Amino acid sequence: MTASAFKHASDETLQRYACGNLKPGLALVMRVHLAGCLSCRANLRRFEAVGGALLDNLPPAAISPALLEKIFARIDAGDTPREARPTPVLTADGFALPAAMAGCKIGPWRFVHPKLRWARVEVPGAETDRVILLKIAAGFAAPAHGHGGLELTQVLAGGFTDGRAQYEPGDLVEADESLDDHEPRVTGDEDCLCLAAVEKPLRIRSLLGRLFQPLMGI
Ligand SMILES: [Zn+2]
């Protein structure tokens, strides 16, 4: 796999997004990435087309009422991933946040360490989803951690490396239980701001990480 492959959504994640099978917190990170990534938007259309073709070929009785309800709810909510809805741009601590985050409630910035700050992001209707903004100072590393499920991280400013690739603003980083512990380290002179969502609690082994995990609720 080339380093650039790590900067976009995997086919599996795009498929889950297209089917509405990602938790709202993870779907928010996907919307932020998709708004700025032509390549992932093109891939998403492929999966939506496949999904549409499958639905066309199903006898009507095969679609469960629960699934229909879900589809109609998405249509009602205007949740059409292809179109970015025009929304005001929020700011957090001097950084411009993506328009796709409008409507989210951003909690106060909290310090775990002088070089590591975080703020909770509440996604409307999914307040318990584990979503945070993470700001890490240049040269500092996030605590090493493993994953119990999918983790999506969108780089909003600055950059970092996790040994697999060097990530820049606009890149999406996917990690899951198949990835060994990683320790993202900020590169360059600029602070790094990321939006991150996890499906299940992280497995954190470092002392700093274990101290901050209960605070952050991830
Ligand atoms: Zn992409």
pLDDT 10s digits, 47-61: 887 766 665 665 555
Give domain status of residue 85, yes or no. no
pLDDT 10s digits, 164-201: 889 999 999 998 877 766 778 899 899 999 999 988 76
**What spacing in Å lies between the alpha carbon of 114 and ligand 1's midpoint?**
32
**What spacing in Å lies between the alpha carbon of 34 and ligand 1's midpoint?**
6
Confidence of residue 92 (pLDDT cuts 50, 70, 90): low
Strand duo 110-113 + 105-106: pairing = unpaired
For residue 62, give both structure tokens: 């095969």
**What spacing in Å lies between the alpha carbon of 153 and ligand 1's midpoint?**
12
Q: Are residues 100 and 205 in the same domain?
A: yes
Give domain status of residue 1, yes or no. no
**What spacing in Å lies between the alpha carbon of 186 and ligand 1's midpoint?**
21
| pTM (predicted TM-score) | 0.76
Q: Are residues 39 and 141 in the same domain?
A: no
Q: Are residues 96 and 186 in the same domain?
A: yes
Q: Is 44 a residue whose pLDDT tops 90?
A: yes
Q: Quote the domain boundaries for residue 97.
A: 91-216
Instruction: Name the more confident of 175 and 206.
Output: 175
Give domain status of residue 83, yes or no. no
Other beta carbons within 10 angstroms of residue 130's beta carbon come to 21
Average pLDDT, the chain: 79
Q: Show Cβ contacts of residue 34 under 8 Å, excluding neighbours closer than 6 positions.
A: 9, 40, 41, 44, 81
pLDDT at residue 11, rounded to an integer: 94
**What spacing in Å lies between the alpha carbon of 210 and ligand 1's midpoint?**
31
**What spacing in Å lies between the alpha carbon of 171 and ligand 1's midpoint?**
7
**What spacing in Å lies between the alpha carbon of 172 and ligand 1's midpoint?**
6
| Count of domains forming the chain | 2
**What spacing in Å lies between the alpha carbon of 193 and ligand 1's midpoint?**
18
CATH number, domain containing residue 141: 2.60.120.10
**What spacing in Å lies between the alpha carbon of 39 and ligand 1's midpoint?**
5
Q: Are residues 69 and 97 in the same domain?
A: no
Q: Is 122 a residue whose pLDDT tops 90?
A: yes
Q: Which of 76, 107, 122 is the last residue of a domain?
A: 76
pLDDT at residue 47, rounded to an integer: 85
Average pLDDT over residues 85-104: 70
Compute the distance between CA of residue 54 and CA of residue 63 in angstroms, rounded to an integer. 11
pLDDT at residue 133, rounded to an integer: 92
Q: Are residues 102 and 151 in the same domain?
A: yes
Q: Are residues 46 and 128 in the same domain?
A: no
Q: Is 77 a residue whose pLDDT tops 60?
A: no
